Amino acid sequence: MVAALNAALRASLDRDSKVLLMGEDIATLGGVFRVTDGLAKDFGEQRVIDAPLAESTIIGAAVGLAMRGYRPVCEIQFDGFVFPAFDQIVTQVAKLRVRTDGQVAMPIVIRLPFGGGIGAVEHHSESPEAYFVHTPGLRVMAPATPADAFVMLQQAIASDDPVIFLEPKRRYWDRGEVDLNVDIAHATLMGRARVTRSGSDVTIACYGPMLRTCLEAAEVAAEEGRSLEVVDLRSLSPIDFPTLVASVERTSRLVVVHEAQGMASVGAEIAAVIAERCFWSMEAPVIRVAGFHTPYPPNRLEQHYLPDVERILDAVDRSMAY
């Protein structure tokens, strides 16, 4: 996935001279995860910019650049460091296009490595997506595979809407086939979910780092005679409810899985909407599998916090018991 993201940034920089990158250590070092490795050498440090350790300044500068016609792509080094920039994101980035009646576009992409599972220290394993999904005016995207990362990042950069681009950091080293010649204009539309595995008994809705875990759970369930349909949401704002509703109407059951805590979460919104739209099709209540309502634990305990195959299969068992 790291290589796919790097290729997407390279293609976007090459395609549009108004695209530029900003972030801490992204030029000389290539970023802490090496996503921007080699880009400063090839495109120059006027377009791949090492920013100060000041997230609010990075986003504030991006707002000004966007108002002047540029397409800034900002890297927040780790998920837990986005909060110093939160004011800029929710009061300026998200609102300026509406505030100007569409006359000022905000083509800003904020790349945000998110989630746990890498044994990191405090503030390096957060899942803050619900804050941004709750904020009108922001698109929120979460690729789960290298192929999607390559296409979706280019789509985000080409969009005139501001995009929070959530990168599942523990999947950075996952491998998968990527078509480097894909035409992003004819790829899966921005904002669309994808049925990654077809099934008939229970729908599993997930995104980002949890897709791989849910597919592993589906494999185990198949050995036990149960058929799980896995839907990769891909976009969290907007959520592709038509695809999700169609799946639930086929299976009559839904389990929602994500790393973030369950309270007031993306999963909670999905559960509420599906309960409204699919009430007469459901044979069981929506069940959520999420992180616990605690601050993210020390790394020695994170395996107890993060949803795993066993917790997903337990939720499937509970759903099937109705």
Domain that holds residue 30: 2-186
| Burial category of 76 from C-beta neighbours within 10 Å (exposed 0-12, middle 13-18, buried 19 and up) | buried
Q: What is the amino acid identity at position 234?
A: R
Residue at a domain's end among 167, 186, 205? 186
Report the candidate in 143, 148, 119, 174 with the shortest Cα–Cα distance to residue 2: 174
Q: Hey, how many other C-beta atoms are within 10 angstroms of the C-beta on 268?
A: 17
Residue at a domain's end among 169, 186, 203? 186
Domain count, the chain: 2
Are residue 170 and residue 300 in the same domain, yes or no?
no
Residue-wise pLDDT for 207-238, tens only, equals 999 999 999 999 999 999 999 999 999 999 99
Domain CATH for 283:
3.40.50.920
Are residue 148 and residue 69 in the same domain, yes or no?
yes
What ranges in 89-182 are assigned the alpha helix state H?
Answer: 96-99, 129-133, 146-158
DSSP letter at 301 equals G
Are residue 210 and residue 272 in the same domain, yes or no?
yes
Return the active site residues: 124
Using CA atoms, how far apart are residues 220 and 62, in angstroms rounded to an integer? Answer: 46
Residue-wise pLDDT for 27-73, tens only, equals 999 999 999 999 999 999 999 999 999 999 999 999 999 999 999 99
Are residue 58 and residue 168 in the same domain, yes or no?
yes
Are residue 208 and residue 298 in the same domain, yes or no?
yes
Are residue 30 and residue 160 in the same domain, yes or no?
yes
Are residue 161 and residue 269 in the same domain, yes or no?
no
Model confidence, pTM: 0.96
CA 55 vs. chain centroid, Å, equals 19
Are residue 126 and residue 257 in the same domain, yes or no?
no
Cis amide leading into 238 (omega within 30): yes
Domain CATH for 15:
3.40.50.970
Residue at a domain's end among 186, 205, 235? 186
pLDDT at 70: 97
Using CA atoms, how far apart are residues 66 and 51, in angstroms rounded to an integer? Answer: 17
Residues with pLDDT less than 50, the chain: none
